[in-house]
Structure 1
Amino acid sequence: MNRHSLPEPFTRLPQIYFVEYLVWEKSRQIEAHAHDGVFQLDYFPQGAGTYSVDGATIEIDANTFFFVAPSQRHEIHGSSENPLENATVKFGHPGIDTDGFLPHVCRVHADVASRAGTLFRQVISEAVLKQQEHMAIASLRLAELLLLLRRSTEVDGVAVPDSRPVTAARRYMLEHFADDISIGDVAGSAGTTPEHLCRVFKKETGDTPFTFLRGVRVERAKKHLESTRDNIAAIAQATGFGQAKNINRIFKNLVGMTPREYRRKALVENRQ
Structure 2
Amino acid sequence: MRTVLIVLFDDVQSLDVTGPLEVFAGAEAWHGGSYRVLTASPDGVPVRTSSALTLVPDHALDDAPAPHTLLVPGGRGTRHPDRRLTDWLRGHGPRAERLVSVCTGAVLLAEAGLLDGHRATTHWAYCDKLARDHPAVEVDPDPIFVRDGRVSTSAGVTSGIDLALALVEEDLGRETALAIARHLVVFLRRPGNQAQFSAQLAAQTARREPLREVQQWITEHPDDDLSVESLAARARLSPRHFARAFRSETGTTPGRYVERVRLEQARRLLEDTGDGVEEISRACGYGTPEAMRRAFVKALGSAPAEYRRRFRPASTS
Instruction: Kindly indicate which of the two structures has a greater share of residues assigned to helix.
Output: 2
TM-score band, normalised by shorter chain: 0.3 to 0.5
Structure 1 length-normalised TM:
0.44
Higher gyration radius (CA): 2
Instruction: Kindly indicate which of the two structures has a greater share of residues assigned to strand.
Output: 1
Higher relative contact order (CA 8 A, sep 6+): 1
